[in-house]
Amino acid sequence: MGRSVRPQVAHTVARGQLYENEYFYTGLMNGKEADMMPFPVTMQVLARGQERFNVYCTPCHSRVGNGAGMIVDRGFKPAGNLHDARRLSEPLSHYFYVMTNGYGAMPDYKAQVTPEDRWAIAAYIRALQLSQNAKATDVPAGAQVENLSDIVERLGEPASYAGPWPLPSTAVYGAPTVGIVAGAPAENPPKQPATKNVVTKPSGAQP
C-alpha cells in the first residue's frame, strides 16, 4: 500500500521550517525564559497583540486580563489573573512559552496563533499590566491624567463602571486566593522578589 505522506528526505529542511532563531520560536534563551522581546515593539505590534488577545484570550482571562472571562459565567474556575504579583513577576517570554506549550488547564495555542502573534500578545499583556498598575509619574510630561471615576461621571455612566469587576456566583475556585487585584482574585505571590519587567529589543534581534 502507498503512503499518503512521504517521509521527509534526510538532511533536508522543509520550506518555512528553518528555525534559526531559537528564542523567537521557543521563548527560551539557553533553556531559560527571558524578559525581552525578539523584535522591536511598535504601536502596530501592540494593536495586533490586542486584536489577537481579544480573540483567543478574553474568553478565559477577560479583556482586562483579570481572569474573570466568560467561562466564569459558565461555571468554570477563573483563569490566571495577569495582574497579581505572581504574573507580574514573570519574564516576558513566559507568556509566549505558555501560549506555545500550554500550562495547567490552559491548552497550547501554537496551532491557532503564529509565533509573531504570540509575541505580540505577550507585549500587549505587558501593556494591560501597566494599565492596571500605572502611576501618574508614568505619563509623559504635559499629558493630561484623568481619574477613571471622573470619566464615568462625565459620560453619565453608573459609578460601578469605575469599580472592581465582581465575579459571578458561578465562579469555582480550585486553590486559595489572596486579595483582589484588578477586580478578580489574586493567587499567592512568588517567594522570590519580583523583578522589574521591561520590554526591550535583545541583542542580535530575533524575529
Per residue in 49-100, pLDDT (tens digit) is 999 999 999 999 999 898 988 988 888 888 899 999 999 999 999 999 999 9
More confident residue, 88 or 162: 88
- Which of 86, 113, 116, 79 minimizes the C-alpha distance to 99? 113
CA pseudo-torsion sign 102, 108, 113, 114: positive
Amino acid at 137: T
47 versus 18: the higher-pLDDT residue is 47
C-alpha to C-alpha distance for 10 and 7, rounded to whole angstroms: 9
| 23-134+148-185: in CATH 1.10.760.10 | yes
Residues above pLDDT 70, as percent of the chain: 73
- What are the sequence ranges of the domains in the chain? 23-134+148-185
Q: What is the mean pLDDT of residues 158-168?
A: 73
**pLDDT averaged over every residue in the chain:** 80
Q: How confident is the model at residue 175 (pLDDT cuts 50, 70, 90)?
A: low
In terms of pLDDT, which residue wins out, 200 or 19? 19
| Assigned C-alpha cell, 59 | 474568553
The lowest-confidence range among 68-72, 122-126, 134-138, 163-167 is 163-167
